[in-house]
Amino acid sequence: MDTPPLVIVDAANVVGSVPDGWWRDRRGAAERLRDLLVPYAAEGLPGRPGPLELVLVVEGAARGVESVPGVRVDPAPGSGDDRIVELVREAADRLRLVVTADRELRARVTESGAEVTGPRTVRP
């Protein structure tokens, strides 16, 4: 069986895309995003049928968020953006999609062959 596409979600950027008070509870906001992502692992995303391997990269106060079936949480030891670039490079042999609106990060991951999409793809 083929390796499923790798979808890497920039938690800080996606959480920050909706002004819902996330700044009062960054960890809770990352957990809610993680739980929102679970169905996408099997069902897929628009234009990307499942199954998908979903990785949620967290940083800062959200580092304690645990993985759940369908979504692996990767706590960045430093910069979340740097960790996302590392994950993209480590998976060079497969399709990679990064979910972020961060322009600098988008440029960095596309240089490494990843595709990008915005937060609305996973958070309508």
Per-run averaged pLDDT (10 residues), the chain, 124 residues: 90 92 91 97 94 97 95 96 98 97 97 97 87
What is the pLDDT, as a whole number, of residue 49? 93
DSSP per position, 54-120: EEEEE-GGGTTPPPBTTEEEEE-SS-HHHHHHHHHHHTTTS-EEEE---HHHHHHHHHTT-EEE-GG
In terms of pTM, does the model score above 0.75? yes
What is the pLDDT, as a whole number, of residue 23? 83
